[in-house]
Amino acid sequence: MSWFRKPSSAPLWREEFSVFTADERYVNRRQFTKFLTLTSFGMLVGNLWILGRSLLRRAPSYPRLTVAATGELAVGGVKTFTYPTAQDPCILVRTAGDTCVAYSQKCTHLSCAVYYEKAQNRLECPCHQGFFSIADGSVLQGPPQRALPRVVLERQGEQWVAVRMEGETT
């Protein structure tokens, strides 16, 4: 540390723990500023981490999963399943006629489970009143910043099959 300091006659401890309150004002401010700079560095590390993750990602491969039969749900009916892994809860909603949509059930705010509110025809998160559109999962209201990741469904005969996720970074 010696090359940091200007040479002086008093040892470092005597200057840092000075008996004069006038000196203490400087020491306290300098130390707080150092703490703020460390915080700034921590956030830089966070941004670099994101950068690293975004550069190193490989395209993920998704399994195919049969979710439900076409006649299984009434209009407005709901079924929950897990896709692509058992740790990813998803929600399937039969919207109108013969169409089904499915989304990840983890709210993009703080991962509470969203549910389908039939009266309002939207996905709602009970924790902080975040509402998502049933059409594309975009945010209608509330603290969530990102749309709900969508499960892309394919109709295979009389089955609804989940083929991949869209709109998320794993």
Q: Does 88 bind another protein (CB under 8 A)?
A: no
- The CA R_g of the chain, rounded to the nearest whole Å, is 27
Q: Is the peptide bond before 60 cis (omega within 30 degrees of 0)?
A: no
56 is a site residue for another protein (CB under 8 A): no
Tell me the CA distances in angstroms from 34 to 2, 44, 75, one per residue in order.
Answer: 18, 15, 60
Does the footprint of another protein cover residue 26 (CB under 8 A)? Answer: yes
**Least distance in Å: CB of 50 to another protein?**
5
Decide whether 55 or 86 has the Cβ nearer to another protein: 55
> How does 96-120 read in b/e, with b if 16+ C-beta sit within 10 Å?
eeeebbbbbbbbbbeeeebebeeee
Among 112, 147, 152, 161, binds another protein (CB under 8 A): 147
Q: Is residue 124 within 8 Å of residue 117, measured between CB atoms?
A: yes
Query: Considering only 25-33, 69-77, 78-86, 120-128, which stretch makes contact with another protein by CB under 8 A?
Result: 25-33
- Least distance (Å) between residue 93 CB and another protein: 21
Out of 1, 2, 3, 6, point to the residue binding another protein (CB under 8 A).
6
Coil, strand or helix: which one is 55?
Answer: helix
Please select the residue that binds another protein; options are 3, 11, 55, 58, rule is CB under 8 A: 55
CB proximity list for 65: less than 8 A, separation 6 or greater: 81, 83, 84, 161, 162
Count the site residues for another protein by CB under 8 A: 43
Report the interface residues with another protein, using CB under 8 A: 5-6, 8, 14-15, 17, 19-27, 29-30, 32-34, 36-37, 39-41, 43-44, 46-48, 50-51, 53-55, 57, 108, 145-147, 167-169
